[in-house]
């Protein structure tokens, strides 16, 4: 009897395997055997995030492979997966700028798979996690919040924060060693968001007492939630509430405290306690109230809360993006002293008297912006942007010979915009592995080939916020300090290539950031 059961089980397994294989072959035929990767698990599978040959494409593999897969197949569109589990389906990787532009502009044919973004809506629906008419409604209300006055506030807050760091915290020190530069840039991000987005006074020197009715300070709640937001996606609610792991419990407390703080901020503005401010919450509520009074698009209270959360974490303001990209920019400047000298000379040409730069100087500080954009190109905060084909479509790309070629994309296909592949595509970026900020000083630089802030109608509405913050930070720091790599005895004798690889090694948290990069800031003298 046991032998019979085993025989039956083996036959069933064979039949299921043959059925899966037949489905897999049918899926491949649906794209005319278009070349690409063949794996069991697709790029969006959360079970296996990294590349394992024939097993997993890996959603995070793009940071490592960059343009290599496309070069291997001789095409800037490849079939990224025809996976077997959970079911055979098609997906494409895109590293062709025109094809990507076509996809992002055709919002109704290629939609955002918002069903995978529930973690970003636990305070309420927002502009990041909605689609179609709902997205339009959120966008109409949130976009006006990013005013020129708010951008000026962002600049002033960023400059003031670094001035406090350099002249108060580092007062009297001519040489400051920092064990990990990301600690500085992430703290800066929290201060700028707190001041410019939330309208709350925050500083490097924490003088604030714990408000009544709260378990932790707002600054700490923001930091913990932004750092550990993925816990909300990984763990069910009962784990967050009952498992006695200190980091999990701290996240749960911080997320509840942040919600309470946001409710209090909204109430204070509703009651007239904080009128006339230029912070994003005030601007958002004003835009929403204008919509209500005119009978136009407006948001519910929970949606207002959801979008405020999006300003902090979900990408409407790419805060961690800015912090991590700024950290990479400072590491790259430390590794490339010639580029740092060129940037310093440019800043001196704009600010010959050495004064603190103002928002009105931003348009002239082109090299500071170029350094930031080049760091975003080389170290994109996300490696892939997923889309879903809602109907049969045709993707058009350019071959290496300059000819146009079409690729059939069946309805239901996943279309993965391969950001890292595009950013390292030599067709748009000659010598793509080299740090060359001057690329962005050319008025004809390929704007469609830089996707640090996405593109098309769903492009990041917080782009100006991020660029303003980064240019102010880079300009202030480089005008006052020479940035170098910290000498560490254990790395004595390493080659330039080994040092570069060590310092630019990344890690994945909310976005892609530097793992550990110790730098030294040496205060400039009058003879620099």
Stretch (H or E) spanning 393: strand 393-398
Q: How far apart are CA 52 and CA 230, in angstroms?
A: 23
What's the DSSP call for residue 521?
E
Helix/strand/coil (H/E/C) assignment for every residue in 49-68: CCCECCCECCCCCHHHHCCH
Whether 152 and 363 have beta carbons less than 8 Å apart is answered as no
Residue 226 burial (CB < 10 Å; 0-12/13-18/19+)? buried
Q: How far apart are CA 138 and CA 386, in angstroms?
A: 21
Helix then strand then coil, in percent of the chain rounded to 5, is 55, 10, 35
Q: How far apart are CA 138 and CA 304, in angstroms?
A: 9
The residues, any chain, with a CB within 8 Å of residue 262's CB and separated by 6 or more, are: 123, 305, 308, 309
User: Residue 519 in 3-state DSSP?
Assistant: strand
Whether 353 and 503 have beta carbons less than 8 Å apart is answered as no
Q: How far apart are CA 455 and CA 387, in angstroms?
A: 13
Q: Is 408 left (phi over 0), alpha (psi -120 to 50) or beta?
A: beta
Max CA pair span of the chain: 93
Joined together, the tokens standing for residue 371 give: 């350094």
Q: Please, which residues bridge with residue 389 across strands? A: 110
Rg (CA), the chain: 25
Residue 398 burial (CB < 10 Å; 0-12/13-18/19+)? middle
Q: For residue 97, count other CB atoms closer than 10 A to its CB.
A: 22
CA distances from 128 to 46, 60, 116, 146, 315 (A): 20, 20, 12, 16, 7
**283 annotated as belonging to a binding site for a ligand:** no
What's the DSSP call for residue 462?
T
Tell whether omega for the bond before 77 is within 30 degrees of 0, i.e. cis.
Answer: no
Joined together, the tokens standing for residue 147 give: 């005013």
How many DSSP H helices and E strands does the chain contain?
19, 12
Whether 186 and 527 have beta carbons less than 8 Å apart is answered as no
Q: How far apart are CA 192 and CA 206, in angstroms?
A: 14
Annotated binding site: 460
Annotated binding site for heme: 460
């Amino acid at each position: 009897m046991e032998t019979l059961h085993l025989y039956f089980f083996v036959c069933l397994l064979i039949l299921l395997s043959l059925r899966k294989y037949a489905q897999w072959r049918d899926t491949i035929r649906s794209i005319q055997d278009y070349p690409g990767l063949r794996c069991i698990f697709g790029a969006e599978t959360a079970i296996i995030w990294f590349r394992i040959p024939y097993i997993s494409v890996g959603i995070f593999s793009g940071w490592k492979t960059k343009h290599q897969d496309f070069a291997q197949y001789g095409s800037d569109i490849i079939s990224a997966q025809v996976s077997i589990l959970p079911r055979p389906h098609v997906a494409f990787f895109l590293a062709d700028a025109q094809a990507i532009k076509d996809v992002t502009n055709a919002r109704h044919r290629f939609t955002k798979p918002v069903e995978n973004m529930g973690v970003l809506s636990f305070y309420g629906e927002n502009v990041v996690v909605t689609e179609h008419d709902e997205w339009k409604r959120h966008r109409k209300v949130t976009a006006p919040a990013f005013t020129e006055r708010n951008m000026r506030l962002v600049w002033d807050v960023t400059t003031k924060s670094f001035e406090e760091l350099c002249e108060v915290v580092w007062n009297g020190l001519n040489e400051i060693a920092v064990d990990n530069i990301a600690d500085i840039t992430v703290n800066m991000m929290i201060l700028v968001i707190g001041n410019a987005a939330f309208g709350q006074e925050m500083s490097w020197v924490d003088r604030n007492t714990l408000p009544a009715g709260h378990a932790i300070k707002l600054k700490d709640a923001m930091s913990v939630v932004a750092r550990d937001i993925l816990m909300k996606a990984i763990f069910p609610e009962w784990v967050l509430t009952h498992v006695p792991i200190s980091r999990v419990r701290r996240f749960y407390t911080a997320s509840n405290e942040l919600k309470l703080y946001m409710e209090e901020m909204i109430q204070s503005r509703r009651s007239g306690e904080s009128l006339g401010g230029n912070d994003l919450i005030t601007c958002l509520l004003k835009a929403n109230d204008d919509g209500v009074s005119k009978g136009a698009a407006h948001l519910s209270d929970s949606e207002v809360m959801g979008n405020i959360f999006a300003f902090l974490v979900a990408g409407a303001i790419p805060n961690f993006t800015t912090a991590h990209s700024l950290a990479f920019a400072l590491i790259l400047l430390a590794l490339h002293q010639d580029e740092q000298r060129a940037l310093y000379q440019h800043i001196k040409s704009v600010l010959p008297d050495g004064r603190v730069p103002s928002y009105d100087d931003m348009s002239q500080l082109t090299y500071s912006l170029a350094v930031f954009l080049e760091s975003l190109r080389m170290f994109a905060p996300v490696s892939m942007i997923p889309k879903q084909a809602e109907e049969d479509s045709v993707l058009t790309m350019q071959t290496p010979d300059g000819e146009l070629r079409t690729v059939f994309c069946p309805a239901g296909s996943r279309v993965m915009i391969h950001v890292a592949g595009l950013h390292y595509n030599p067709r748009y970026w000659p010598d793509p592995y080299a740090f060359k900020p001057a690329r962005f000083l050319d008025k004809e630089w390929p704007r469609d080939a830089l996707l640090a802030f996405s593109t098309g109608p769903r492009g990041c509405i917080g782009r100006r916020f991020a660029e303003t913050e980064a240019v102010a930070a880079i300009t202030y720091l480089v005008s006052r300090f020479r940035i170098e790599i910290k000498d560490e005895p254990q790395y004595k004798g390493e080659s330039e290539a080994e040092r570069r690889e060590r310092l630019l090694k990344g890690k994945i948290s909310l976005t892609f950031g530097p793992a550990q990069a110790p730098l030294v800031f040496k205060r400039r003298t009058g003879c620099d």
